[in-house]
Amino acid sequence: MGMWNRAAETMSRDEISRVQLEGVKKSLRRAWSNDFYSSRLKRAGFSAPEDFRSLDDLAKLPFMTKEDFREAYPLRMNCVPRADLREFHMSSGSTGTPVVMAYTKGDLLQWAECMARCFAMAGLEEGDAFQIMPTFGLFNGGFGCYHGCRKVGLFCVPASSGNTERQIKLMRDFRVKGFCSVVSYVPRIIEKLDAAPEGERDLPSLRVGIFGSETFSNELRRRIETRLGIECFDIYGMTETGGIGTTGQDCRAHCGIHVWEDQYITEIVDPSTGLPVEDGEYGEVVFTSLNREAMPVFRYRTHDISRIVSREKCACGRTSLRIDRITGRTDDMLIVKGVNFYPRQVEEALMEIPGVKDEFQIILEEHNGMTDVTVNVEADEGVTGHAVAKHLRERLGFLPKGDVFKPGTLPRSEGKAKRVIRKQV
């Protein structure tokens, strides 16, 4: 049920290992022709791609980082003739130098295959209407969804981002069954629906929401599912691995993200030492691509924090390993009074308080080497700042300051929500 590629998604452990070894060898042979890769591999002690003999050799490959992509801008990492390139996507980080991922025809097919598996896993079938809310452009989200829609045969509604009223009208008029967006946009949709006239407050055809590129709590997921009458899925992928959906999604059993193991090798490492951690322990997610042609990645450090949930066969029948939904980023971990926490944990704690809404802000103020934390949140009348602070202290281990605001009064963003604000005092 709901499986796009049964053979690939139900491989035995032995088959997966065989496919992964072949995939790394093939990728190394391709990368060796490019000086950018081969100089790094030589520095790590490889004199030829054939030095990679078994999957145990993976640990000998040097890590790749976002900095490698930036240094290689625009196409120094390209391993194929220029005439074989068909498309590229780009993301810009906080430092400004963009990260480019280029695609051959084969890479676009690989991306579409991964997206098709995600769509099928969410219960979408040929002919279903699907609304794409990520932007079409250099960002990979819009086109990634589009390539997947083409592969599965979905009826594509290429809405792109913004204009919430039109998004709702399109969903209603074209009887949209599924949509993809950033999760922080969904409260905008719900607000507009709540304010609509009687009889227009629901989207009866909608069944599936696919959310990427932001972490979100189980509680926010439950609220969205209940209000919209849909099932939520957490899709995973980034520019450097080839875009949205390339590294997996959760299935209908919702017990972790299935990584496409015939396409990527997953490692979880200690972010400070780079050494692998035990299954079940949190660490940084590291990916090695097995079928990417133009710009393969070897041991790419994502900065995403997760853990291996299971390598056993899932209730859905898939055999690929499952990692936890992303808890945070190694670089957005907050340390306050010696306590480590992630914005998502604040969200989880806030959503447990009855009457608290989906909008919140974490403000960090540094003075004299001390960090003061303020948590502002929207809530119904009757929710007191004292009650919020008390609950956060119980859950996070320290007492933040904070205020309770009327629903609709905290600043809104159209794209990714800006939850954490840093101030120097």
Distance CA 287, CA 263 (A): 10
Of the pair 232, 251, the CB lying nearest Zn ion is at 251
In order of 43, 92, 95, the CA distances from 63 in angstroms are: 12, 21, 20
Of the pair 122, 346, the CB lying nearest Zn ion is at 122
Cα of first residue to Cα of last residue in the chain, in angstroms, is: 56
Q: Which range of residues in 14-22, 100-108, 247-255, 353-361 is near Zn ion by CB under 5 A?
A: 247-255
Phi, psi angles (nearest 5°) of residue 423: -130, 140
Considering the rule CB under 5 A, would residue 323 count as an interface residue with Zn ion? no
CB of 289 to Zn ion, least distance (A): 22
Q: Which range of residues in 43-51, 138-146, 252-260, 362-370 is near Zn ion by CB under 5 A?
A: 252-260
Of the pair 2, 385, the CB lying nearest Zn ion is at 2
Considering the rule CB under 5 A, would residue 159 count as an interface residue with Zn ion? no
Considering the rule CB under 5 A, would residue 305 count as an interface residue with Zn ion? no
CB of 121 to Zn ion, least distance (A): 8
CB of 256 to Zn ion, least distance (A): 8
Considering the rule CB under 5 A, would residue 251 count as an interface residue with Zn ion? yes
Q: Which range of residues in 92-100, 246-254, 341-349, 371-379 is near Zn ion by CB under 5 A?
A: 246-254
Beta-strand pair 308-310/334-336: unpaired
CB of 373 to Zn ion, least distance (A): 37
Distance CA 15, CA 319 (A): 11
Task: Rule CB under 5 A: choose which of 195, 253, 370, 421 binds Zn ion.
Answer: 253
Considering the rule CB under 5 A, would residue 314 count as an interface residue with Zn ion? yes
- The amino acid occupying position 197 is P
Contacts of residue 301, Cβ cutoff 8 Å, sequence gap at least 6: 63, 64, 65, 269, 284, 286
In order of 8, 290, 345, the CA distances from 261 in angstroms are: 9, 9, 29
Of the pair 312, 381, the CB lying nearest Zn ion is at 312
Of the pair 117, 318, the CB lying nearest Zn ion is at 318
CB of 251 to Zn ion, least distance (A): 3
Distance CA 74, CA 72 (A): 6
Beta-strand pair 155-157/129-132: parallel
CB of 254 to Zn ion, least distance (A): 8
Tell me the number of residues near Zn ion by CB under 5 A. Answer: 5
Of the pair 253, 370, the CB lying nearest Zn ion is at 253
- The amino acid occupying position 387 is A
CB of 117 to Zn ion, least distance (A): 11
Task: Rule CB under 5 A: choose which of 170, 186, 316, 353 binds Zn ion.
Answer: 316
C-alpha Rg value of the chain to the nearest Å: 22
- The 8 Å CB, 24+ separation contacts for 163-167 are 164/188, 164/189, 164/192, 165/192, 167/131, 167/133
Of the pair 266, 345, the CB lying nearest Zn ion is at 266
Which residues here bind Zn ion, judged by CB under 5 A?
251, 253, 314, 316, 318
